[in-house]
């Protein structure tokens, strides 16, 4: 059982990470998960930007 000092505050040991053999593997799994989350957030932001661009085009056509 890892000591509380080494564990990040509020962090729970995930089931996927529990299968990792070393701390390095645990960090690797966590890093991959963080990267996936960031990628999803960027994808959502691009969708929002596309929606804003389409709206601006419609407004421009309407009032041109």
pTM of the model: 0.42
**Within a domain: residue 49?**
yes
**Within a domain: residue 29?**
yes
**Within a domain: residue 43?**
yes
Tens digits of residue pLDDT in 3-49:
545 555 555 555 555 566 677 777 777 778 888 888 888 999 999 99
- Give the number of domains in the chain: 1
DSSP-derived secondary structure letter, 21: S
**Within a domain: residue 20?**
yes
Q: Please report which residue ranges of 3-22 form alpha helices under DSSP H.
A: 15-18
**Within a domain: residue 48?**
yes
1, pLDDT greater than 60: no
**Structural domain range at position 19:** 15-63
**Within a domain: residue 47?**
yes
Q: How far apart are CA 7 and CA 49, in angstroms?
A: 38
**Within a domain: residue 55?**
yes
């Amino acid at each position: 059982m890892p000591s509380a000092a080494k564990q990040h505050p509020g962090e729970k040991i995930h089931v996927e990470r529990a299968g990792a053999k070393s701390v390095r593997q645990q960090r690797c799994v966590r890093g991959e998960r963080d990267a996936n989350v960031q990628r999803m957030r960027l994808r959502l932001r691009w969708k929002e930007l596309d929606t804003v661009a389409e709206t601006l085009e419609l407004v421009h056509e309407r009032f041109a």
